[in-house]
Amino acid sequence: MGHWWYRNIVEPGKLPLLLALLSFVLSFLITRVITRMIRAGRGPFKNITPGGVHVHHVVPGVILVVIGGFGAVGSGRHGFGAMLSAVIFGLGAGLVLDEFALILHLDDVYWSEQGRKSVEIVVVTAALVALVLGGFLPFGVNDLTAEERQSRGLIIMNTATNFFLALIALWKGKARTALFGTVIPFLALIGAIRLARPGSPYAKRFYAKRPRARAKANLRAFHHDRRWAVPRRKFENFIGGTPDPERTPVSKPTKH
């Protein structure tokens, strides 16, 4: 385990990336817990409103991202400075992307249906960073043995194939399958070989003169959405909280 850790994390300089990922996920989870407590009126936490202006946590997040980013550029990949900068950057990125929907819509949609985009972008970001972290690319690793070269070559080939299949799945309008398919083996293959979603670039290109394929794609999309809409919504609600239109509170919720 110690040899694997050194060869794949320490020697190629991936320790700061690992620390950034861990602090990013931790920052997001803690922020969600605190905001849900504020919303429910529990605990000691309150909204920060100096002078009547609601300061969203994206503001300190941007400050931390700037500090951590410039610190990382100036400190390189090794040393205490690089690790500290990575932690600061990860904490700030978690705060910023937790309010990604606010930045996108330029409106306080944190507890609305549009606010789900923040949860989705955080999950996707964490998954993609984990993919880069776990790719075990040989850059920065000295004196690879024949076995290591073969192992890493297979990993690179599998990753490239997975990425190509993910592009096909994205072309077919299956964005979530494509994104998570870059991390989970064979998931992108399922999205690539199945019928395209209606309205996708692939469907417009190849189903325009095929009414049977178009009708079958519409029917399959309908059944898929009906089957997975409720589990996906429950999962998103579990992580990010239930949007306002779906809630039936006894008293007026605290606005975040």
Structural contact between residues 60 and 91, judged by C-beta atoms closer than 8 angstroms: no
* Selection from 39, 9, 34 nearest residue 22 by Cα: 9
Q: Give the span between the Cα atoms of 20 and 251, in whole angstroms.
A: 39
Question: Where in the sequence is the domain holding 135, given as residue range(s)?
Answer: 2-142+195-246
What's the rounded Cα separation, in Å, for the pair 34 and 43?
9
* Any domain includes 167: no
Is it the case that residue 247 has pLDDT exceeding 50?
no
Report the phi/psi class of residue 185: left, alpha or beta, with left for phi > 0 and alpha for psi in -120 to 50.
beta
Q: Identify which of 109-113, 136-140, 251-255 has the greatest average pLDDT.
A: 109-113
Q: Which pTM was predicted?
A: 0.67
Q: Is residue 156 part of a domain?
A: no
User: Which of the two residues, 237 and 252, has the higher pLDDT score?
Assistant: 237
Greater confidence (154 vs 192) lies with 192
Q: Which of the pair, 70 or 227, is modelled with greater confidence?
A: 70
C-alpha 248/C-alpha 250 separation (Å) is 7
Q: 70 in a domain, yes or no?
A: yes
- pLDDT recorded at residue 147: 67
Per-residue confidence (pLDDT) for residue 125, from 0 to 100: 85
Predicted confidence (pLDDT) per residue in 173-216, tens digit:
887 788 777 767 678 888 889 889 898 888 888 998 888 888 98
Looking at the structure of the chain, the number of domains it has is 1
